[in-house]
């Protein structure tokens, strides 16, 4: 599958999907720039806002679909053990 990357979902172990590799890579880089390395981390809403300045108009014109991609990348990174989900309300994430 050219131009695709396999992603996991922490909520459905063993199930994978294939998504656009370029969009995934850009959103992952935005996560690396925006998400803190320690607790308390960011909420889903805070994460969506924090990644936006790091996204290009090429892949995310006017921020379109950025929320969906942020959630997809978050679930994949969490499934791979790279992000930590804090047991707070609302939920928060940071790098492990």
Non-local CB neighbours of 75 within 8 Å, separated by 6+ positions? 7, 8, 9, 10, 11
pLDDT digits (tens, 9 = 90+) for 27-42: 999 999 999 999 999 9
Confidence (pTM): 0.94
Task: Kindly give the interhelix angle for 44-51 and 21-34, rounded to the nearest 10 degrees.
Answer: 110
Fold of 4-95: Arc Repressor Mutant, subunit A (1.10.10)
Distance separating alpha carbons of residues 60 and 83, to the nearest angstrom? 23
pLDDT digits (tens, 9 = 90+) for 42-72: 999 999 999 999 999 999 999 999 999 999 9
Domain boundaries, the chain: 4-95
């Amino acid at each position: 599958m050219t131009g695709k990357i396999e992603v996991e979902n922490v909520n459905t172990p063993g199930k994978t999907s294939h998504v656009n590799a370029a969009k995934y890579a850009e959103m992952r880089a935005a996560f690396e720039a925006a998400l803190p390395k320690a607790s308390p981390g960011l909420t889903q809403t805070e994460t969506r806002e924090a990644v936006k300045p790091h996204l290009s108009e090429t892949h995310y014109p006017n921020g379109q679909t950025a929320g969906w991609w942020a959630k997809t990348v978050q679930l994949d990174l969490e499934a791979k053990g790279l992000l930590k989900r804090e047991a707070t309300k609302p939920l928060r994430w940071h790098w492990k």
